[in-house]
Amino acid sequence: MIARDLAAQKEGWRYTPAAILTGPDFKPAGVPERILPLAGRVLCPIGFHRAALVNGRWEAKHAVLKLPDGVTVEPLTEASGVEEFLNRPAPEDLPLAKTASAARDGFVVRVARHVHADRPIHLVHISEASSCAESSQARVLVVLEPGATAELVEETLSFGDAPSWKNVRSQIVLGEGAFLRHHRVVREGAQGRLTTALEVSLASRARYESHALNLGGLFAREDLRVRLEGEGAECHLNGLALLGGSEFADHHSIVEHIAVGGITRQLYKAVIDDKARYVFDGLISVKPGAQKTDAQVYNKNLLLSEDARVNTNPEFKILADDVSCKHGGAVGQLSLEALFYLRSRGIGADEARRLLVYAFGSEMVDRVALEPLKLAIEGALHGRMPEENL
Amino acid sequence: MLKITNLHAKVGEKAILKGLSLTVNPGEVHAIMGPNGSGKSTLSYVLAGRPGYTVTDGTAEYEGKDLLTMDPEIRAREGVFLAFQYPVEIPGVSNKYFLKAAYNAQRKHRGEPEMDAGAFLKFIKEKAKSVEMDPSFLNRSVNEGFSGGEKKRNEILQLAVLEPRLALLDETDSGLDIDALKVVAGGVNKMRDAKRAFVVVTHYQRLLDYIVPDFVHVLSGGRIVKSGGKELALELEKKGYGWIEEKVAA
């Protein structure tokens, strides 16, 4: 079924090695024999609200939810009154999202009108080690009513030597003036595959800030669809991928400006080492009538080895005439001049390289306002530094 | 301190230095002057160890050791410093962090303990003051968005922090107005002492009004063709480089 879905996805998958998904004979993941603690395995500290899906199923033992009035975090199986959202069909061109629509479990997060979620909400997707290739499906629904605000950390992880594949369909609905800060951290294992489709809709003056942070994993294909439906809606899309070995990551996004005065700021960066590959495809589509749109999409890449590869395509489709749109893509290597400059001051070659890689990525880390997460990302960035000599 | 003998070097396939010899003793200030293309910058880069510059013959001894086989970072840790003609911008690395990494690398090399962050900050603020640099520059990315003068001042700040035994100044005067030139020269003069040597590479005599050299050498066609005292610089200023080149050719 999934192989057929993938075969249908030709456009937009030109640079995506779908064989990594179709190769193994994936079986639906079961419940693990033992529920292992999350401590030491997840990024975010105790103190955040937390819920977890293990192999695509809500795990009550992992839930730490002392939620204030007006904030709910529930398993999909128990949530009611959200059919209106859940019944919305997935975009035609994202058949994997259609597959995930049938998921039996997931997260439903709701924040009521004018309520501010007191602490960040940490949602964990985890694939536990298994003896055979396993896949799981999940859905995520986040609804912020008008004027509500929340911070979300979504983390995906996988363990073990057998192939695993998580396929997630997410929907985020932001009411008028709502604000969501969304961190999506990918920390998949050497056999971890992840496909996500995230649809975000914004009413007037709503704001969506996202940080797509890929810190490793065999394969991640992430589709993002943002619709700025109300006047003056705003999205800030940040991305950082740190890839090495034979890892692959792919960020595809389409931002639609439908109403007047929408703002988009998109900047994705990738550091690509060894034989790793990265794909960026970012389209901003300005619909007729979406005047005064102010949008930017940029992608910058740093290649650290001869075999590293990147395909970048920042793009606009503009059907309004009074807009400001800028885009750009860049692919570069470490500056030999800068390396020599650092070395001429006594800084060793390895450290100089590390410093320059860190300098490239640190801009994106600095944008993460959530302190404990920022520290973890900084650590990951340091851990991903190239080690070999010049 | 520095003994260069019959140095030949090429950049890519092009021979630039063709038998250069020079001896620099502690406490001395040597000026190397010469027309464009004479090999002044190549000499600086070869001594600092820039990749892409190949030594084909000759030697350079620094404090009795073979300078040319050392990695650039080792030369720096051993006390050789090059003030760049075109300092490099490094977005994302703060000046403060950069100076600390450089300073501690040197201390570690000498087997001394690293200086902690608090003490170091105090130390570099003093140094910034000595080169009349606003402390806000310490928090900015290395040279990013600095004016030409600010970049050169930043080189002199690094010089002041790292306190090298042998400082090579490559066209430090280029792009400086007279006020900035005075500040930069002042920074250098404060560091002159009996143990430290300077090699000042310059096209114009102007800088030498402020950093007064003990010796002046004229570089032409990749060799030193004339040496003298500071009065040689004045003569060059008056007559240009043409007369020396003609003499050499004849």
The pLDDT averaged over each successive group of 10 residues in chain A (390 residues) is 62 87 92 90 86 97 95 97 96 92 96 97 96 96 98 96 97 98 96 97 98 95 98 98 95 98 98 96 97 98 96 96 96 95 96 91 92 84 55
pLDDT band at B249 (very low <50, low <70, confident <90, very high): low
pLDDT of residue B175: 81
Same domain? A369 vs A270:
no
- Asked if B76's CB is within 8 angstroms of A338's CB, the reply is no
**A240 shares contact with chain B (CB less than 8 Å):** no
Is A363 near chain B, with CB under 8 Å?
yes
Domains contained in chain A, number: 2
Read off the pLDDT of residues B14-42 as tens digits, 9 standing for 90 and up: 999 999 999 999 999 999 999 888 999 99
**A382 touching chain B per CB within 8 A:** no
In whole numbers, what is the pLDDT of chain B averaged over residues? 93
Q: Do residues A264 and A158 both lie within one domain?
A: yes
Quick one: A92 and A187 in the same domain?
yes
Which pLDDT score, from 0 to 100, does residue A389 have?
A: 34
Q: Which among A338, A345, A349 has the least Cβ separation from residue B162? A: A345
The pTM (predicted TM-score) of the whole model is 0.87
Same domain for A43 and A167, yes or no, is yes
B119 in reach of chain A (CB within 8 A): no
- Closest of A246, A174, A180, A251 to residue A212, by C-alpha: A251
| pLDDT value at residue A46 | 75
Residues in A closer than 8 angstroms to B107, CB to CB, are none
Domain that holds residue A377: 335-390
Give residue-wise pLDDT tens across range A300-345: 999 999 999 999 999 999 999 999 999 999 999 999 999 999 999 9
CB contact under 8 A, A342 and B109: no
Instruction: Flag whether pLDDT at B186 surpasses 70.
Output: yes
| A351 and B CB contact within 8 Å | yes
Give the percent of chain B with pLDDT over 90: 78
- Please compute the mean of the pLDDT values over residues B161-170 and round it to a whole number: 97
Beta strands at A263-272 and A234-243: parallel, antiparallel or unpaired: parallel
Is A147 found in the same domain as A54? yes
Spatial contact of A183 and A373, defined as CB atoms under 8 Å apart = yes
Domain residue extents for chain B: 2-179+190-249
Residues A173 and A275 in one domain: yes
Give the domain-ending residue among A333, A359, A378: A333
Of A336, A347, A359, the CB nearest to B73: A347
* Residue A9: per-residue pLDDT: 64
Q: Please check whether residues A47 and A137 belong to one and the same domain.
A: yes
Instruction: Give the distance from residue A335's alpha carbon to the nearest chain B alpha carbon, in angstroms.
Output: 9
Same domain, A279 and A325: yes
Q: Is B6 left (phi over 0), alpha (psi -120 to 50) or beta?
A: left
Asked if A376 and A255 sit in the same domain, the reply is no
CATH number of B2-179+190-249: 3.40.50.300
Residue B248: the pLDDT is 67
